[in-house]
A = this chain, B = another copy of it.
Amino acid sequence: MSADIGRIFHALSDNARRSMVEELSNGPLSVSQLAQPFDMTLAAVVQHVNLLESCGLIKTYKQGRVRTCELETTALIAAEKWLQGRKRLWERRLDRLGDVLSED
Hey, which bits of chain A sit against chain B, CB under 8 A?
Answer: 3, 5-7, 9-10, 12-15, 18, 21-22, 25-27, 71, 73, 76-77, 79-80, 83-87, 89-91, 93
Contact = CB atoms under 8 A, between A and B. Distances in A.
Q: Taking chain A's interface residues, is the majority helix, strand, or loop, or is none over half, making it mixed?
A: helix
A77 B87 contact: yes
A42 B85 CA distance: 27
Given A6-B13, A6-B14, A25 B90 contact: yes
Contacts of A15: 3, 6
Contact of A22 (B7, B86, B91): B86
Contact of A83 (B7, B76, B86, B91): B76
